Amino acid sequence: MTYYGPKELAAAFRTVRHNTIQIAEEIPEEHYGYRAAPESRSVAETLAHMAVTTRFPEQVHIVEHRSTMEGFDFVSLLSKLAAEEKTPRSKSEILDLLRSEGERFAQALEGLPEDRLGESVSFPAGMVPPTKSRFEMLLGPKEHEMHHRAQLMVLERMLGITPHLTRQMQQRMAAMKAAQAGG
């Protein structure tokens, strides 16, 4: 028995995606074209990127069940994903994409046999490390999403929006202070 298997991996991913969706809901659609810098992704592009990048690990670990990344056509798949994130979409369409792609990926994670997470995946010669566990690689999508979610939280601040996680923490602190003052 492990302490962190496919069900926990899926639950953790769902939590991260839930918070991403909350940010996507809170940013007004008129700011979806906003870019922090000319060469950076817009809010809409960042959200679409987050929505579709789970297709990469799904292809590698679930569809193909690869044991090596040698010979994998990174350029083709990443080009398709880049085109997908540039597709113009309304806020509603982006939210639908985040929900549907996120749940599809979470269900795929949940359905993995537990022993599959311990398998090793090798990388092309010269890459460091030369292998990783499938578990470590499947943690990647959650970490990747959290990285971009942090960017979105900075963009929220730049747009004058206090991120929901900050508001929630402020509410908890105020409740604790009130309890101490009254207790």
Q: Please give the pLDDT value at position 45.
A: 97
pLDDT at residue 12, as a whole number: 97
* Domains with residue ranges and CATH for the chain: 6-182 (1.20.120.450)
- pLDDT (tens digit, 9 = 90+) per residue, 22-77? 999 999 999 999 999 999 999 999 999 999 999 999 999 999 999 999 999 999 99
What is the CB neighbour count within 10 angstroms for residue 138? Answer: 25
pTM of the model: 0.92
Predicted pLDDT of residue 182: 84
By three-state DSSP, how is residue 72 classified?
coil
Distance CA 28, CA 33 (A): 10
- At 183, the pLDDT band (50, 70, 90 cuts) reads low
pLDDT at 93: 98
State the Cα torsion 92-93-99-101 to the nearest 10°. Answer: -170
List, for residues 99-158, the tens digit of each pLDDT value. 999 999 999 999 999 999 999 999 999 989 999 999 999 999 999 999 999 999 999 999
Q: What are the tens digits of pLDDT across the range 65-95?
A: 999 999 999 999 999 999 999 999 999 999 9
Residue partners of 11: CB distance under 8 A and separation at least 6: 106
- Asked if pLDDT for residue 2 goes beyond 80, the answer is no
